[in-house]
Every structure is written in C-alpha cells, then in structure tokens.
Amino acid sequence: MTTVASTGGPATTPDRPSPSPTNFVGRSRPGEFAIRLFLRIAAAITVITTVGILIALAIPSIGFFAEVPVFEFLFGTRWAPRFADASFGVVPLITATAWTTFLALIVAVPLGLGAAIFLAEYARPRARSLLKPILEILAGVPTVVYGYFALQFVQSTVFREWLQLPTGAFSVLAAGVVMGVMIVPTIASISEDAMSAVPQAMRQGSAALGANRMQTTLRVVFPAALSGIVAAIVLGISRAVGETMIVAIAAGNQARIVTNPLEQGQTMTGFIANAALGDSRVGSLEYDTLFAVGLLLFLITLLINFISIRIVRRFREIY
Amino acid sequence: MRTIGSTIAGTIRPERPITSGTNGERRPLSLLFLMLLWLSLLIAFGVLVTLIITIIIDGQGQFSWRLFTEYPASSPDRAGARPAILGSAWVIGTTAVMTIPLGVAAALHLEEFADKRNWFNRMIELNVQNLAAVPSIVYGLLALAFLSMLGVRDKNIVIAGALALSLLILPVIIIATREALRAVPQEIRQGSLALGATQWQTTWRQTLPSAVPGIATGAILALSRALGEAAPLLVLGALVFVSFDPNGLLSSYTTLPIQIFNWTGRPQEGFHQLAAAASVLLLGLLVLMNGLAIYIRNRFQKRW
C-alpha cells in the first residue's frame, strides 16, 4: 500500500504542479463517519463485555467478602453454604475441579497429541481431510449429551456393571474421562497447526541425516512446535476448568474434599449450576456466594489464558 | 535425487535404491509408534461411535412424534419436548439477530478500518482472544447480574437467555468473520479504491460480499454451539416446568439442552430414555446445521 501511494500518486510528484490538484481526501461524508463510528462501537462492546464481567462478578463478591473473610474462603476446608452453621471454605470445590481437570488431561493429552502427530506428519491429504472433520464432531457434541453419556453409560454401565468398581451413582472419574474426550479436538487441532507450521526443510534435513519419520517427528518437529503444543494443552486445561454440564450431571453434588477419583465431588462450576437452581434472592449471601465462586473461576481461567499467550510469545521459534 | 543417487551411491551399492528416510520405517519401534498414533485416533472415534449408539439404543423406545407435539409431564409416557424445541428456536433466533450484525461490524472495524498500531485496537484484539476462552457459565453470571441491576425479577425470559448466548458467541463470530475477510485478496480492495470508491464503499460492495460465504459458515457454527449450550441458561433459571409455547421475547422458556439435563436428573428410567431420545434429536439438529455450514463453504466460497 505504501509503495503504491508514494510512486503512483501524481499529486506527490514535485516537478509537475498540476493545475487543479486532485483532492484524494474527497468531500466529507458524514454518513460514512457515522458508519465507522458504529463499527468502532461494535468492536468496543467486546471490551465492555469484559469490563462488565469483572464488575458483575466483583460487586456481589465484595458483599460476600464483607461477611466471609478472604482467607477463610480460600483455605477453609468445609463448603456448606446452605447449612444452618454455614461454612464457606472453597477447598473442597477446588479439589474436585483439580481432579476432573487432571483426569481429563490424562485422557486428552496423549489422545490429542497422537491424533495431531498422525494428522500432521503421517496422514495423506485425502485421509487428513476425512479424519479431521470427524474429530471435530467430538468438539461439537453438546456438553449435556456428554453428561448423559458419562452418567448413564460410563459410570453406571462400564464402571459399576462391567468393571464392578466400588463407586456410587456419581464419580469425578467418569466426568473427568468423558471431559477428556471432549477436549481432544481442542488439543489436536491447535497442536496440529503448530506442527504443520514447522518448515518442510527441517524434516528434509532430518531425513537426510538418516532419521526415520518417528525420529524426525519426536526429535525435530515436536521440539520445534513445542510452544504451540504447550499452548494447546493450556487451553485444554482452561476448558476443563470451566466445563459445567458434564460435571453438574456426572460428578455429583456433594461438596467435600475429593481424595479418590471414584468418589463424587462438586466442582466450582458444578456448585454454580446447582446453586442457581435454587431460587436465591438478589443480595442475599447465597446469591453473593455464586459470584464469589464465579470470580475465582474467572480469575483462574484468565490466569491460565495469559500463561498460554505468554508461552506462545516466549518460546515461539521463528523461521 | 535419482540422478545423483545413481551416479554416486549407485556405484557403491547398486542393488539397493536410495530411499532416504524410509529405511527405518519398518523397525519395530517406529511401527509401534505408528500403531499408538492410530490407536489414539481409534479411541477418540470409538468413544464418539459408542456415544451415538448409546443414546440411540437408550432413546429408541421413546422416539416418536410425541417428542415434538407433547408438553413435559410427570409421567415419562406422556411427556414431550415441544416447548423446549420451540424455546430453543426462539432463543437461538434472537441470539442470531442480536449477535451476527454486531460481530460482523466489530470484525469489519478490526480488519478493515482499525489502525493496528493503536493501543485501543490492540487491546480489543487481545480481549477477543481472551473472551473466547472464558467459561460459558460466567456469561450466565454476567447476564444474571445485569438483569438484577436493571431490577428484572423474572430472569427466565427469552431475551435474557439470548443476551447471555450472544455475548458467549460474539468472540467466535468475530474471529470467524476476520478470517473470512482476511481471505479476500488485497487486489480486490486496491482495484476498488483505484476506481475512486471510498473505503466504506469498497468494504460494503466488494470485500464484504466476497466474504459472505465464510461469514455464514462461521456464524452457523457459532449458533450451533449456542444451541447445544446449557450452562448460562441454567444460571438464568431456565430449568422450569414450561407447559405452554413460548410466544415472545419476554416469554418464559426452556431449551432442548436444559430439558435433557432435567430428564437426566430424574430417578425414573423412562425419563432417562426421553433424555436420550431428545439427545438424538439435538445431535441431529447440530449435524444438519454443520452440514449446512459445510455446504455453504464448499458451494459458495470463492477460490481466488
């Protein structure tokens, strides 16, 4: 654009002053100005949304923390907001979230990376264009349907009937494993993009030194794409932490510290979903509790997202 | 490669063709590695197939027209999902009307007009990326707080649900639209500008029409995500017994995913079957929407 403007514009040639200098700015167009303003406002709405989220979560949370000390909230080990002797220690919710996220990653990271390596390094273009959309379907299945599957099939049929595991009607294991399958496409597609971006010359160089495809993949492509792969996993973590319906259906709703994946447990999101079912009055402590947990959830995912963006910037290898 | 191989290496080892890179492919370790890769795809697809078979088998007993025509009831043999289907249609329709113009406008600003060096525009870009990763339930809390602030008592209304879902898919639509706009070659814009069109005329008559197939595909995919979403609506109190057809923006409603959640949580086996049947229906709708998106992309997208 800049080269065109500096070489092509007759108005900028100094030695030939034209009799009527062409006005490239044109007449003023108020309508166009208004349209641009509208577009700008539309873009600004995204920022307003973020600010709105912060305010919406912060104001009720201030009310909450006026009654419950922050320290007691973050480090208390008993979560019983609806009991007569109410107690607001968020640690049980965090342990359940940590378990489901951890279990989801154990499933999603190997499967997602395996799929990504196959699609990026091994599959022919035809196979790739066939396999990738099928994999994407996994990301499109509604989370309530995953929840139904986790509860009715994985937990009650596989774990209890077939494997005879000592577990109740709900378990964080069923929720976590199914959630892991849900985030496989997230991890696979971002890591695949990262591996496809590694220049072909590096693979050829590796092959020329006698490496086979496995060695090339593991020792050349994988390290070169590491920043994208780590970012994919971090994004997977953020999705697992924020996932609601699967855990609300299959993980159970008793808030207690989870020590064993076969136990049931209530995650942060599960608590918000369940508490919202009961009609809590605006301004009551119960209502504020929702937002305090929501704020914690938002801050955790925000932190994870920023880490992901930083990792990509810091460790990106530029070719 | 062949000529070099035959002149240099061919003299040393004439019986063996030079195929660098494939020599070690049949070692046990690399075969095992390839099998593991296959296995990871196979497991993922296996779960998908198992899920679909499970809901079809569970739901087959309840799969009849009753699902479309009847209202929820206390007995699973008389219950249907009619209000939930209509409620989903209302909420998704309202969401589409609210969010597509807004998302496209924001993307046009970022892609065609914004000065990329301006700190405000850079912040918007970063912010859109961030919003796309905010948990969906947080959008429910945002809408809940917003409505409480306005003093709305009954939060289970179509417009409130649509508001939450709109904000949820807004970043998705912005990102998809930006990609569609970026795919329009710069020469189209330059040609239009060279003929004397203003920047907005160029955008409105050249760039945007060329990008419409890509935008439509992205918008449909975003709406299909909104259709399957339940968490934000749950927070807004959409889990209610609705025994009438929703009939306006201020009408009370329930949606298909919420109805599935409700039926899954009931103790009776019959309701679980209903949940499975409704899941089949929801998945079918989503497959249709995705199919439409893929069709639009393949049929109308320009290849420059």
3-state per-residue secondary structure call for A104-121: HHHHHHHHHHHHHHHHHH
CB A80 within 8 A of CB A86: yes
Average pLDDT over residues A70-95: 88
The whole domain housing B176 covers: 85-254
Q: Is B36 on the interface with A (CB under 8 A)?
A: yes
> What secondary structure letter does DSSP report for B153?
S
CB A244 within 8 A of CB A165: no
> First CA to last CA across chain B, in angstroms?
34
Which residue of A lies nearest to B284 if distances are taken between CA atoms? A141
Average pLDDT over residues B181-202: 93
Which residue of B lies nearest to A139 if distances are taken between CA atoms? B225
Taking CB atoms and an 8 Å limit, are A148 and B171 in contact across chains? no
For residue B91, pLDDT beyond 60: yes
Q: What is the pLDDT of residue A22?
A: 56
Q: How far is CA A25 from the centre of its chain?
A: 45
Q: What is the pLDDT of residue A256?
A: 87
Average pLDDT over residues A283-312: 88
For residue B70, pLDDT beyond 80: yes
Q: What is the pLDDT of residue B15?
A: 47
Separation in Å, CA of A71 to nearest CA in chain B: 23
Taking CB atoms and an 8 Å limit, are A147 and B264 in contact across chains? yes
Q: What is the pLDDT of residue A286?
A: 83
Rounded to whole angstroms, the Cα distance separating A250 from A152 reads 9
Taking CB atoms and an 8 Å limit, are B138 and A297 in contact across chains? yes
Q: How far is CA B176 from the centre of its chain?
A: 11
Average pLDDT over residues B95-104: 95
A111 CB-near residues (< 8 Å, 6+ apart): A180, A181, A184, A188, B40, B43, B44
Separation in Å, CA of A97 to nearest CA in chain B: 13
- Two structure tokens written together for B300: 């109308």
Average pLDDT over residues B18-47: 82
Q: How confident is the model at residue A23 (pLDDT cuts 50, 70, 90)?
A: low
Average pLDDT over residues B257-280: 92
Identify the helix (H) or strand (E) that includes residue A79: strand A79-80
Rounded to whole angstroms, the Cα distance separating A284 from B257 reads 29
CB B120 within 8 A of CB B216: no
For residue B34, pLDDT beyond 70: yes
- What are the sequence ranges of the domains in chain A? 32-80, 91-315
Separation in Å, CA of B101 to nearest CA in chain A: 9
Mean pLDDT of chain B: 87
Average pLDDT over residues B47-76: 88
Residues of chain A with pLDDT > 90: what percent?
55
Separation in Å, CA of A46 to nearest CA in chain B: 7
- Two structure tokens written together for B40: 């990871």
In a domain, residue B35? The reply is: no
For residue A153, the chain B residues in CB contact (below 8 A) are 50-51, 54
Q: What is the pLDDT of residue A133?
A: 86
- Which site among B1, B141, B189 would you substitute to test the A interface, given the most A Cβ atoms closer than 10 Å to its Cβ? B141
Q: Which of residues 18-77 of A touch B (CB under 8 A)?
A: 26, 29, 32, 35-36, 38-40, 42-47, 49-50, 52-53, 55-57, 59-60
Burial per residue of A2-22, b for 16 or more beta-carbon CB atoms within 10 angstroms, e otherwise: eeeeeeeeeeeeeeeeeeeee
Rounded to whole angstroms, the Cα distance separating A294 from A241 reads 12
CATH fold group of domain A91-315: MetI-like fold (1.10.3720)
Nearest CA among A46, A103, A68, A87 for reference residue A295:
A68
Average pLDDT over residues B74-89: 89
CB B203 within 8 A of CB B112: yes
Q: Is B59 on the interface with A (CB under 8 A)?
A: no
Taking CB atoms and an 8 Å limit, are A56 and B51 in contact across chains? no
Q: What is the pLDDT of residue B22?
A: 52
Rounded to whole angstroms, the Cα distance separating A220 from A213 reads 10
Of the listed ranges A34-48, A58-72, B5-19, B288-302, the one predicted with least confidence: B5-19
Q: What is the pLDDT of residue A11?
A: 44
Q: What is the pLDDT of residue A25?
A: 59
Taking CB atoms and an 8 Å limit, are A141 and B51 in contact across chains? yes
Q: Is B298 on the interface with A (CB under 8 A)?
A: no
B22 CB-near residues (< 8 Å, 6+ apart): A212
Taking CB atoms and an 8 Å limit, are A144 and B257 in contact across chains? yes
SS3 of A155-183: the string is HHHHHHHHCCCCCCCCCHHHHHHHHHHHH
Separation in Å, CA of B240 to nearest CA in chain A: 9
Q: Is A179 on the interface with B (CB under 8 A)?
A: no
Identify the three-state secondary structure at position B161: helix
Phi, psi of B147, deg, nearest 5 = -70, -35
For residue A296, pLDDT beyond 50: yes
Separation in Å, CA of B247 to nearest CA in chain A: 24
Q: Which of residues 9-28 of B touch A (CB under 8 A)?
A: 20-25, 27
Nearest to A297 among B24, B135, B237 (CB): B135
CB B169 within 8 A of CB B222: yes
Q: Is A7 on the interface with B (CB under 8 A)?
A: no
Q: Is B152 on the interface with A (CB under 8 A)?
A: no
Q: What is the pLDDT of residue A8?
A: 40
For residue A277, the chain B residues in CB contact (below 8 A) are 234, 237, 239
- Two structure tokens written together for A313: 């910037």
Of the listed ranges A12-21, A249-258, B162-171, B221-230, the one predicted with least confidence: A12-21
Q: What is the pLDDT of residue A96?
A: 94
Q: Is B275 on the interface with A (CB under 8 A)?
A: yes
> What secondary structure letter does DSSP report for A88?
E
Q: List C-alpha distances in Å: A122 to A118, A133, A171, B18, B28.
A: 5, 17, 37, 21, 17
Rounded to whole angstroms, the Cα distance separating A182 from A249 reads 15
Identify the three-state secondary structure at position B157: strand
Average pLDDT over residues A252-257: 87
CATH at B132: 1.10.3720.10
Rounded to whole angstroms, the Cα distance separating B157 from B253 reads 6
Q: List C-alpha distances in Å: A59 to A18, A62, B127, B155.
A: 64, 5, 21, 19
> First CA to last CA across chain A, in angstroms?
25
Which residue of A lies nearest to B131 if distances are taken between CA atoms? A50
Q: Is A201 on the interface with B (CB under 8 A)?
A: no
Rounded to whole angstroms, the Cα distance separating A154 from B190 reads 57
Identify the helix (H) or strand (E) that includes residue A87: strand A87-88
User: What does the angle CA A10 – CA A14 – CA A17 come to, to the nearest 5 degrees?
Assistant: 70
Of the listed ranges A275-284, B38-47, B183-192, the one predicted with least confidence: A275-284
Identify the three-state secondary structure at position B276: helix
Number of domains in chain B: 1
DSSP secondary structure of B85-130: HHHHHHHHHHHHHHHHHHHHHHHHIIIII--TTSHHHHHHHHHHHH
Nearest to B231 among A113, A211, A245 (CB): A245
Taking CB atoms and an 8 Å limit, are A273 and B137 in contact across chains? yes
Rounded to whole angstroms, the Cα distance separating A183 from A105 reads 9
Identify the helix (H) or strand (E) that includes residue A80: strand A79-80
In a domain, residue B19? The reply is: no
Q: How confident is the model at residue B90 (pLDDT cuts 50, 70, 90)?
A: very high
For residue B20, pLDDT beyond 60: no
Tell me the whole-structure pTM to 2 decimals. Answer: 0.87
Separation in Å, CA of B278 to nearest CA in chain A: 9
Q: What is the pLDDT of residue B8?
A: 46
- Two structure tokens written together for B276: 């499975």
Q: Is A170 on the interface with B (CB under 8 A)?
A: no
Q: How far is CA A210 from the centre of its chain?
A: 39
Average pLDDT over residues B39-64: 92
Which residue of A lies nearest to B49 if distances are taken between CA atoms? A138
Burial per residue of A81-113, b for 16 or more beta-carbon CB atoms within 10 angstroms, e otherwise: beeeeeebbbbbbbbbbebbbebbbebbbbbbb
| Alpha-carbon dihedral sign for residues B268, B273, B276, B282 | negative
| Alpha-carbon dihedral sign for residues A171, A111, A145, B161 | positive
CB contacts < 8 Å between A and B, how many?
Answer: 278
Which residue of A lies nearest to B127 if distances are taken between CA atoms? A47
Residues of chain B with pLDDT > 70: what percent?
92
Average pLDDT over residues B228-242: 87
Q: Is B286 on the interface with A (CB under 8 A)?
A: yes
Q: What is the pLDDT of residue A317?
A: 64
